């Protein structure tokens, strides 16, 4: 059988098995995927001087950058560190100046009174923290969805950090989807809704959307809970991560659609959709059917 035929057959099998057994299968696959992410997070943790706050900050920026600007966002987290942001969070202008100035984006904007204030503040902060800005060329700024434009993401992030202090302790206290969303709940000012993109009349939301916040919960908060739980030998954190994943709804993307039956969906929570994604990316795409739990069960082996 080809890859697609196997996927359809395995999806049909999952739809027919007892719900309790399917839950056990999904949880096992979910843990496999989270452990892969945990290993990646621990590499980032080592690279960030074994600082959990900096690790969380780096990962949040990276995932906010999405596919096109994730690498540039990660570079920015090294140029403008967590500690700089934490020290300046009392003033929104300072955080915006740090992030946009450090990103090398401020000089791209037509100067008005607000941009001038940001530039002047960044000159001060640049000297204070010895910042070498990134080149604007590292950013993809055109032909992307307005809501994922890096300038908009940075000012949304700045507003969120200004509203509520970002810390690793806050992240590890997340127990519900609402807790995750609260971490990045700040709203960008009207100025940026009109000026974030160059020479464009594009409109966007002041807030980071619920879909993106869910993805940050799935790809950053949950794995970092597991990583720290394993590192500290704290089983409570690992259990909290699993419960949090149950509280976040399943993703809806092209991979999940291949496994879902629209008439009777089997992916309800993030555990289920992450399990499906892990199945597809790890086993199906690499033709590892004989190593796959579902294929083995379906074949009665």
Would you give per-residue pLDDT tens digits along the chain (301 residues)? Answer: 567 787 888 888 898 889 999 999 999 999 999 999 999 999 999 999 999 999 999 999 999 999 999 999 999 999 999 999 999 999 999 999 999 999 999 999 988 999 999 999 999 999 999 999 999 999 999 888 889 999 999 999 999 999 999 999 999 999 999 999 999 999 998 899 988 887 667 778 999 999 999 999 999 999 999 999 999 999 999 999 999 999 999 999 988 888 887 778 899 999 999 999 999 999 988 989 889 988 888 887 5
- Would you state the pLDDT for residue 173? 94
> Position of tokens 């000026």?
195
Between CA 38 and CA 157 the distance in angstroms is: 24
Q: What is the CA radius of gyration of the chain?
A: 21
Q: What is the DSSP letter of 250?
A: P
First to last CA, the chain: 17
- Would you state the pLDDT for residue 3? 73
Between CA 177 and CA 191 the distance in angstroms is: 29
- Would you state the pLDDT for residue 167? 97
Between CA 269 and CA 251 the distance in angstroms is: 8
Q: pTM of the entire structure?
A: 0.94
Cα torsion angle, 292, 293, 296, 299, sign: negative
User: How is residue 16 written in tokens?
Assistant: 């027919």
Between CA 59 and CA 68 the distance in angstroms is: 15
- Would you state the pLDDT for residue 1? 59
Give the helix ranges, DSSP H, for 164-221: 168-172, 177-183, 190-195, 210-216
The shares of helix, strand and coil residues in the chain, as percent rounded to the nearest 5, are 70, 0, 30
User: How is residue 165 written in tokens?
Assistant: 């202090």
Q: What is the DSSP letter of 283?
A: I
- Would you state the pLDDT for residue 262? 77
- Would you state the pLDDT for residue 135? 97
- How many CB atoms are located within 10 Å of the residue 96 CB? 28
């Amino acid at each position: 059988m080809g890859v697609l035929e196997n996927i359809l057959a395995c999806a049909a099998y999952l739809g027919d098995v007892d719900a309790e057994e399917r839950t056990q299968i999904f949880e096992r696959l979910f843990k496999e995927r989270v452990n892969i992410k945990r290993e990646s997070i621990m590499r980032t943790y080592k690279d960030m001087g074994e600082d959990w706050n900096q690790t969380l900050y780096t990962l949040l920026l990276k995932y906010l950058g999405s596919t096109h600007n994730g690498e540039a966002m990660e570079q920015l987290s090294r140029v403008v560190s967590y500690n700089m942001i934490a020290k300046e969070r009392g003033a929104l202008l300072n955080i915006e100046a740090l992030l946009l100035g450090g990103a090398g984006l401020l000089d791209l904007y037509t100067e008005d009174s607000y941009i001038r204030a940001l530039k002047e503040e960044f000159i001060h902060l640049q000297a204070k923290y010895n910042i070498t800005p990134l080149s604007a060329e590292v950013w993809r700024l055109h032909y992307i969805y307005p809501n994922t434009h890096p300038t908009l993401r940075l000012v949304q992030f700045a507003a969120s950090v200004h509203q509520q202090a970002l810390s690793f302790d806050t992240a590890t206290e997340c127990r519900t989807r609402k807790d995750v969303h609260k971490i990045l709940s700040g709203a960008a000012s009207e100025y940026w809704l009109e000026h974030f993109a160059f020479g464009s009349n594009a409109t966007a939301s002041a807030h980071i959307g619920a879909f993106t916040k869910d993805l940050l919960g799935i790809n950053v908060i949950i794995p970092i809970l597991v990583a720290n739980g394993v590192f500290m030998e704290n089983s409570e954190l690992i259990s909290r991560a699993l419960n949090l994943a149950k509280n976040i709804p399943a993703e809806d993307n092209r991979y999940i659609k291949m496994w879902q039956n629209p008439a009777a969906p089997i992916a309800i929570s993030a555990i289920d959709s992450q399990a499906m994604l892990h199945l597809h990316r790890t086993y199906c795409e690499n033709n590892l059917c004989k190593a796959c739990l579902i294929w083995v069960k379906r074949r009665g082996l």
